[in-house]
Amino acid sequence: MWSYLSFLPIFLALWANAGVWIVFAVAVVNGSVNLTHGFPYISICGSYPPQSCIFSQVLNVGAAAAAWICIVRYYQLRDWGVRTWLNKLTLWSGLFCALGTSVVGNFQEKHQKPTHLVGAFLAFVVGNIYFWLQLLLSWRVKSLPQPGEPWIRPLRLGLCTLCSLLIVATLSTLGELLQAWIKHGHRLRQVEPNQALAGFVVACSWPLRSAAAACEWALAMLLFVLFGLFAVDFSGLDGCTLCLRPAPGPVPSPGPSPSPSPRHPRRCSEPASLAPVEEAGWSRPRDPQEEPWGLSSPRDCAAGPSCPAV
């Protein structure tokens, strides 16, 4: 049975993939990027209006959906018995990935390049670490359920490995570009500045930048696919419940209540301070040790009204 939680990862994968390619198409149509000069980075496509507005909206919605997925996944693993620090570390890495995605969308490279690069590091590198930690949890805890087909786990392993290789390829390509600039810098000073710059860009910069940009696009697509695969894990969830935890301290006493009905006399073993609360329709205070969030499966919710889906 597939609930709305199962469609959330699918929505994120489709939304993000379609959104960034729409930004690319708009940038090409209005001339913000020139494909004859090389394949552009995602950030370059989203640096100029009007596609910068679309770029920000796409990544902000995607970041919110990614954060929601990471939180639901954390509580799912907790309900399966994974209560180690590794589960919390995985949650925080996923939240930082979502934060970096939002930073990339809101701080365009053209205007805030240092901040944009920090967001890109969180989105790509920390995002890849998040999925490696998910794989580590699935292999470390042997008793974890494995929803879906048997090939899902090898597929995730292959995608995570490919993402790591693309990150290394992107950084290596940029490193080669920097080395080429250092190597030929003394020669470029001996000719006219305009000719030197044009010759260096044609010979070195454009091919390397295009290769790095292609790796970046492939990396982004694969990370979106990895988020989309959580739909398989969420297929066993019917919904989630949100509970409010009262602040520590004395429970406020209710107002004056009518005298107890003769048909429902107060039991002698029942505290007098709590009897009017129950008779007036109030529930007992929640145990502070209880978790404020819970996930419910279809079987659990069918057992009674204690698992309302929201």
Question: One digit per residue, pLDDT tens: the chain, 310 residues?
Answer: 567 788 999 999 999 999 999 999 999 999 888 888 888 889 889 988 889 999 999 999 999 999 999 999 999 888 888 878 889 999 999 999 999 999 999 998 888 888 999 999 999 999 999 999 999 888 877 777 778 788 888 999 999 999 999 998 887 765 555 555 455 544 434 434 443 333 334 334 556 677 888 889 999 999 999 999 999 988 888 777 777 888 887 766 665 665 555 555 544 444 444 444 444 444 445 555 545 555 655 545 444 444 444 4
The angle subtended at Cα 124 by Cα 154 and Cα 158, nearest 5°, is 15
- 139 falls within a domain: yes
- 272 falls within a domain: no
Q: Tally the domains of the chain.
A: 1
Q: What is the pTM of this model?
A: 0.71
Rounded alpha-carbon distances, angstroms, from residue 269 to 254, 273, 274, 282, 286: 20, 12, 11, 19, 20
Please report where in the chains the tokens 């620090």 appear, as a residue.
Answer: 85
- 241 falls within a domain: no
Compute the half-sphere exposure of residue 47: CA atoms within 13 Å on the CB side of its CA. 16
- 282 falls within a domain: no
- 56 falls within a domain: yes
- 288 falls within a domain: no
Q: Taking a C-beta distance cutoff of 8 angstroms, is the pair 71, 58 a contact? A: no
Domain that holds residue 107: 4-236
Q: Which residues does residue 293 pair with via DSSP β-bridges, in sequence order?
A: 242
